[in-house]
Structure 1
Amino acid sequence: MHIILKKNIEELQHQFGFDEEDSKLFEIFCNFCIVSTSFLGRYNPYLVTTQEDDASIDGIAFIIDGDLISTEDDAKQIFSTHKTGLDTKLIITQAKSGDKFKKEEIANFGLGIKDFLSLDPKLPNGSINKEALKILEVILNNLSKIRNKIPDIEISYCTSGIYKEEREINAAFEILERDVENLDMFNSVIVKALGRTELIKIWSNINTTNEAKLQLREYFGIPKMPNIPQSYIALVSAKEFVDNLLTDDNGNIKNEVFEENIRAYLGDTPVNNKIKSTLQDDSKSKIFSVLNNGITIVTPELTLTPNSKVIELKNYQIINGCQTSNTLFENYDSIDEETSIVVKCIESTDEDSISEIISATNSQTVIPFESFFSLKEKSKLIQNYFNVKNEDVNSDSNIFFERRENEYKHKQYQQSRIFDIKLLCRAYNAMFLDQPHNSARYVTKIFDVQKDELFKLDDHEAPYYTSALAHYKFSSMINSKKSDANKYSFLRWHIFFIFKHVIHGKVENIKSNSNKIDKYCSKIINILSSSDKKYEYYFQECFNIIDSIELPTRDSIKRGKYQSDLLTATTSYLKTPNSGS
């Protein structure tokens, strides 16, 4: 199972003290993630996880008027009041711990759902399903008290793999959705395919809740837009903004609210120093709100109370204004009580809309094109992967992916261990996209030629980490003057290109989205992180291959011919006895 997903499941297991087999733990984890997106209270996910005899259904839950209803009596109680218009949702899940979405299993899931919703199921049903049938009957007997006079249903199918939207799999989900819609039992029918990317993100959102209230001095609303239910432009106290949105309980700045910001805080730059001087100038500080571009905040949940002019934000992210925010925090004592700042608050849960907002609000300043790769969901997963791997290897092999510009500026990490977007992409492009000649060229060339191949959603994270670790270890050899590595430093990208073949003892191209890639990378990682520095032997083998053909000029390494000649030499070298692994 994927290393980050496995860690997340272990965290859930630790929180609740579950003692179950891995497959059952995955079911419980999926149910917890899915139900927690609709129910915000505390609960034991075991209560919504079905038993082994509940055919094709691994989880079932009812959310009525914001409450998780698990018994018939609870359902009767909630409908016993005079309250009407109750939001009512049925959640049904299936979780497969394997990494594939299989048409036949999706079809079986659909069969189990239709059998259950018949209210007279023929397939085996355990205690949770039987109780759920009683709850459903209570709901159907109280349709007059339900919003839209009919409940909603959300169906989720989960695996530990990556959902690639293949044609037949898509069709299987569409058939399931159509079959449930044709029952005419539900107002809204939503069918979701959740792979590890989606599950990891849900888990992260569940465990990183930040909430804040902000008193507005003035505000005006923006009309509702597609995927943006509400948004406001407000004038707020700069001091209250720092107190309520930026400062944690220990008096430190909440760095987590800048995760979606393209750049981290840059410190003493001319722009930030100008913001500082404006705050310290009595006359200018009073017109700070018109001198500064302001702050843009995106949140999945926003509540405005018009009478009191108080806005509540949940799980908010400051997507533009990181420099202003940090400068305000650092110069808090210089902020006048009358100093105001313009804050734009946008409510949205649509990832595409949020990415467009981030891109648009940051395009007004000079930001390198490659910085926008930090917004990709895959780049966030890769950063998490680096952090998890650092726990598994010895500290001598720790490396860090600086997803956002200057993110680790104030960390005491050795510079050679930090990989920004540009350096990581050069190493990955050379080693796993087989484009060392482009990596040897001007760095932005990679983003011109290979931009569609970088940080793809179906890529595994291991190749990115492996290429960075190879780069770090080779650089260490150069710095410590081992094996004349410095002689080959200008060929580093071509060395990474053949290094993987040398370790595996044969030329074989495994794609980054292949199910084989994690195992393929694992062998390379184990050698690179070995305490006996066995990797030095394999780098020396690469040097031998390079020496077997004519040494290229610095100009020729930027062309494909040398790469082709080197691959031919590598293939030949590995066929000789006692070479490679």
Structure 2
Amino acid sequence: MSNNNNNDVIILNSILDTKRQNSANNLSQDEYFEIFAFDQVLKDYDLSYDELLSNQVDGKDDGGIDGFFMFINNEALNEELDLEAIKKNPLIEVYLIQAKTSSSFGEKAIETLMATIEDIFYLDKHISDIKQFYNAQVIEKVELLRNTYLDLAIKHPQVKITYVYASKGDTQSIHIKVKNKTDNLCTRTQNFFIGSEVKFEFVGARELLESARQEKSYSLKLKFLENYISRDEDNYVVLTRLDEYYEFVTDDKGYLRKYLFESNVRDYQGNVEVNRDIKITLASKDTDIDFWWLNNGITLLASKATIAGKTITLDDVQIVNGLQTTNTIYEYMKTLQEIHDERAILVKIIVANKLEARDRIIKATNFQTPVPAASLRATEPIQRDIEDYFLHNDWFYDRRKNYYKNIGKTSNRIISIPYLAQAVTSIVHREPHTARARPTSIIKGDTNYSRVFNSSIPMEVYLFCAKSMKNIESYIRATDFSALTENNPNNLLRSGTIRILIFHLAMLFIIKLLRKVNYTQGDVRSLLQIEFDENQQGLLCNTILEITELTNRYLQTAPTLSINTVAKRSEFTNFLVENVQI
């Protein structure tokens, strides 16, 4: 190890220790290093703690994969994605990440991956043939990848697979044998997906440090043309050049600052008619008609604005309207050899400090064009009420994605909107299969949404559901189940399957606490004062053993099904409820 790398490791270890103590003290050092490495490698995707943890597949039978992440057209891939709505030539990106705390890069890690891809990427091998060799999390990801790829085959998807090996080693001192093995791995992978782009990246202590130092900047400077319009210090209207706006919304590496759009509820729609029209206008270079004459412009929110000359400095920037325009400008201009365009775009800047006022502005600006009702949920009063109640109890409701993560709050007390919906669906409504199968659809549609978020559910019940799920998660991560698997022939505990069944486990745990199957919301409320002490942990351990035994019995009746498929069936939930010992 070189002196430089030794210094890098010392500094990195200091950062890791501090961050783990402040934001993830429920994770071991090895577990936190994995999550930290995932976050740095995939920084441009701005993933939440839930998203990072849900794609962690590390454990017994992981096939040498610690993180299995998939994206389609730059967005996280999940089973609820409407594949029919995806246009031709979609981009499927797969990241297989190994994160080791060792101070070097070894051959064994790559050799293990070489064996694994022969199973997971070879489509002729049925899931039932390989599920015994890999844990449930790996199998779940493989099923999703295969189904997505085959369903989109007619649309000729582009496939990009990136292997990442992260450690505390020095990327300048990797042995030639290790590099040769990565070349063989990439070549073999390309044979599975003809025309695919495959690469292997080594990420060492220096690279992790450099990434960790790249903090998100919400205080940005925007240059503008001529004079601005302002009635007071709370709003401004400016014209800015297209190339200046491009610089404003991109970082030092030229990537779009996606986090600026967290309050914009509309997803980028890609190659739809309105965006095609914007792109045609951009490409036309028509000198007789300026760009801003044909475009509605951009609306920004900021907590503070300061003007010096022809530059306005904005704090806590959020783009609340103009996502389609911004993305289209970005996609167009990043392809140019020289970023230079003197045409202008209209930018409206609203200075608002109060959250309620910001939410009203977000909702109003996004109602100007058709938006699915579910997309506006985060601005509703009940969501603000839950956030306030959680905050009062030192818990953090992530109504604005990654807000609490970015300010360093502890990860095991951060609760996202979908996660809370899953918890309530499992614990209050006793439908863990729905929580498992449709994590985002739970809050889509007025009927589904109102079952989970309504005034009849007391605030303390929401907090109880969140706490219960996090307590169960923490217990599972902290417990070594290997000593409990002697009488478990399918090794469901050792393979980490219990994490697939966490919502079913939560329901059964509440059943055992209440000693009744058909409990009500009122019954759940009666548990509010119960502490998660040694007695409760002992009961949870027994519940884990019982759900494992029941799952084994159920799988014997459906040997061709994977545990991931079974967990999404109401029949399985009914089986558990009918057979649990209370």
TM value normalised by structure 2: 0.41
> Quick check: which has more Rg, 1 or 2?
1
- Greater relative contact order (Cα 8 A, min sep 6): structure 1 or 2? 2
TM value normalised by structure 1: 0.41
